[in-house]
Chains A and B, each alone.
Chain A
Amino acid sequence: MSSPISPHSRRPEGLSRRAVVAGGVAAVGLAALPPRAQAEDLQPLAELIARITEGAVPKRGKITLDIPQLVENGNSVDVKITVESPMTEADHVRWIHLIADKNPFPDMARFHLGPRCGRAEVATTLRLAASQKVTAVAALSTGGYVVADGDVVVTLSACIDGG
């Protein structure tokens, strides 16, 4: 399946197969190796950002991420991103990338913009698997990146279909 965003957007699997086999051999006769600690070992946000900025550290400011601090359901969360930019041929926002580091697939979306947009102002509805930090990274045509983030608490609803 082709991923439009990044082939690296999957979380690392945690233990390699070799480590599991080795551990399993070492643990013969003992309780099974708890895989939990490794499974929850998420890729750090800094790495997720560095991957899309080719290592550059994005600057704060000039970008606003508008997202509620508390949402009643993670299935549809409004988000709006605005970047201060003249949006001219020489100086515009090339793209805006959204990351949710605790989602199974942290790369959520990428908006590709250009001078024809007039403004760098986009919005969409996100799916958040858990309470977490949502990060927006924008790439500028002049080189460099800007970043903004927001912490979102996702509450659980009661009396869901599955009980």
Chain B
Amino acid sequence: MRWRAVLALTVIALAAAPATAEIKSGSEFLSPEMRRQQADETRNPAWFWVEQGEELFSRKPQTGAACISCHAEPKQSLRGAATHYPQVDAASGKLLNLEGRIEQCRIERQKQPGFGYETPEMLAMTAYVASLSRGLPVEVKTDGAAKPYYEAGKAFFERRQGQLNLSCQQCHDGMVGQKLRGDTISYGAGTGYPAYRLEWNDVGSLHRRLRACSLGVRATQFDYGSPEYLALELFLAGRAKGLPVETPGIRR
């Protein structure tokens, strides 16, 4: 009886091990040249998007005030803001990521038509706001009101899916550091997004990257900003707690 309990505990401990293992940023899996370029503003094209976002941030829309009129001195006032996303919106109880929060501000406060997910403007705004938290550790809340979303994201991460019948976990916990074609499998920390990907020749959101993951295992691709990807984003951010925000990142 006793050895059984010990065995059961060991099994639980082993099963829990990957979740508590040290997670590394995606940039750790890049070549040294690409890592250098990410940090180099004269080489990382994603800074063009940050620059565009900074400009949009101060531009007064046709109705309502410019972002900067509420968020004055954004370099101080919004420093660290992105580290808390995704988060549960107190008013609606819904999970919002940074894109969702920007869109909410734009529609509800500025009374403007939304930018729309993955538009150049939304990517620029998100990249700019996230870049203000560059170097600060991810600090999302995964308990309280966020718990059900976190659990949903965790279940999504662990569930086998698609024609290849793979879960996210099988690659991004079990085979990290190994090769998948020319890629090195990472943890999927997502701390560099929106990021400039060489494959895209462009800046894209984390959800664009997740859609490519879904397609890769021949599973259903969810919409940009879908509840499934939002929950997964929260789970990934929860795993990446303590890692610095790298936006705007460079990825393969």
Contact = CB atoms under 8 A, between A and B. Distances in A.
Given A72-B252, A161-B212, A155 B182 contact: yes
Interface residues of A, number: 15
A9 to B, nearest CB: 22
A73 B34 CA distance: 11
Contacts of B211: 161
A156 B216 CA distance: 14
Contacts of A157: 181-183, 199, 252
A68 interface: yes
A68 B33 contact: yes
Interface in A46-87: 68, 72-73, 75-76, 78
B215 interface: yes
Given A68-B33, A72-B252, A160 B182 contact: no
Nearest to B213: A159
A4 interface: no
A72 B212 contact: no
B199 A158 contact: no
Chain A interface SS verdict (over half): loop
Contacts of A73: 182, 198-199, 252
Most buried by B among A73, A76, A158, A163: A158
Contacts of A163: 215-216, 218
B162 to A, nearest CB: 11
A123 B201 CA distance: 19
B200 interface: yes
A36 to B, nearest CB: 25
Contacts of B31: 68, 72
Interface residues of B, number: 20
B91 interface: no
Given A157-B199, A160-B199, A161-B199, A72 B182 contact: yes
A131 B48 CA distance: 30
Interface in B21-37: 30-31, 33-34
A10 B208 CA distance: 35
Contacts of B90: none
A68 B36 CA distance: 15
Interface in B191-236: 198-201, 208, 211-213, 215-216, 218
B180 interface: yes
A157 B216 CA distance: 11
Contact of A75 (B30, B182, B201): B201
A157 B179 CA distance: 10
26 contacts: A68-B31, A72-B31, A72-B34, A72-B182, A72-B198, A72-B252, A75-B198, A75-B201, A156-B181, A157-B181, A157-B199, A157-B252, A158-B180, A158-B181, A158-B182, A158-B183, A158-B216, A159-B215, A159-B216, A160-B216, A161-B199, A161-B200, A161-B211, A163-B215, A163-B216, A163-B218
- The 8 A-B residue pairs whose C-beta atoms are closest, nearest first, are A155-B182, A159-B216, A73-B198, A158-B180, A158-B181, A158-B183, A75-B198, A163-B215
